[in-house]
Structure 1
């Protein structure tokens, strides 16, 4: 698959994603997860260009804030810090989140999916899920890995991106 073809394939998905964003406004949790083996970040960036918005790199932005937070306070501070960061993202566009892996750090002792679900109660959130969907379950990393998570997709709208051939 060439880069130009991959990009056009993701751009072709934009209208469906935009319709889905309109539809979630009536839901309590306005969270859309981009899930798939490829194309998630490209699709998020294409959506950002269309909406004249900027995706938030959670790993970099939250990581910087956590780095200056005492280790013993990080678990308690994660939700609050992320809320402060996202409250600083202005505009009417949905909140676009990428690079969520930092939320899976075991020492934080947070539920990564719940952290982003909470953000989606106040405004639409479109987030790149760093794992996969398998048998209607959201999976992050393999069994036995310290960061392994397995969630029901309840309360989440899943938008599947291109799958690798």
Structure 2
């Protein structure tokens, strides 16, 4: 991935049904040194959800996760860089991270720092056997490898 091709895709994503780009690092250790991130509205998903879910009963988490994110993703003219999304894989939330992001991306432009890897045309989070292990091969949007 280079910054120029990513910038071009971001400019085009307003025309897509799912305005969604996943950024993955080839070596599974993501660092965000993307030159164009200054033009993104950055959202720390772990922080946002943690601050709001503390006031909600655990059994109701699944009902509120998307609404909480929708409260901070509000401007259709912005491109949002979602960082630190690890909380979405917590089994207690009972959400499918990809479907959640796809749903939001129908209305908002999302660039997501994927905290796992992309292999065999699948996004993978955690190691097999781990309680938060997640894999998805059917996804909308585009994947960029660093």
TM-score calculated relative to the size of structure 2: 0.89
Contact 2:76 2:108 in 1 (8 A): no
Aligned equivalent of 2:54: 67
In structure 1, stretches of 5+ residues that fail to align are 1-9
Q: Within 5 A, what are the aligned runs for 1:41-60? A: 41-43=32-34, 46-49=35-38, 51=39, 53-60=40-47
Contact 1:34 1:129 in 2 (8 A): yes
Deviation for aligned residue 1:138 = 0.6
Structure with the largest fraction of helix? 1
Once superposed, what is the RMSD of the aligned Cα atoms? 1.8
Aligned equivalent of 1:100: 85
Q: Within 5 A, what are the aligned runs for 1:16-27? A: 16-27=5-16
Greater Cα shift, 152-161 or 110-119: 152-161
**4+ residue stretches of structure 1 with deviation over 3 A?**
none
Contact 1:131 1:138 in 2 (8 A): yes
Aligned equivalent of 2:22: 33
TM-score calculated relative to the size of structure 1: 0.80
Q: Within 5 A, what are the aligned runs for 1:125-140? A: 125-140=110-125
Aligned equivalent of 1:6: none
Structure with the largest fraction of strand? 2
Aligned: 1:117 with 2:106: no
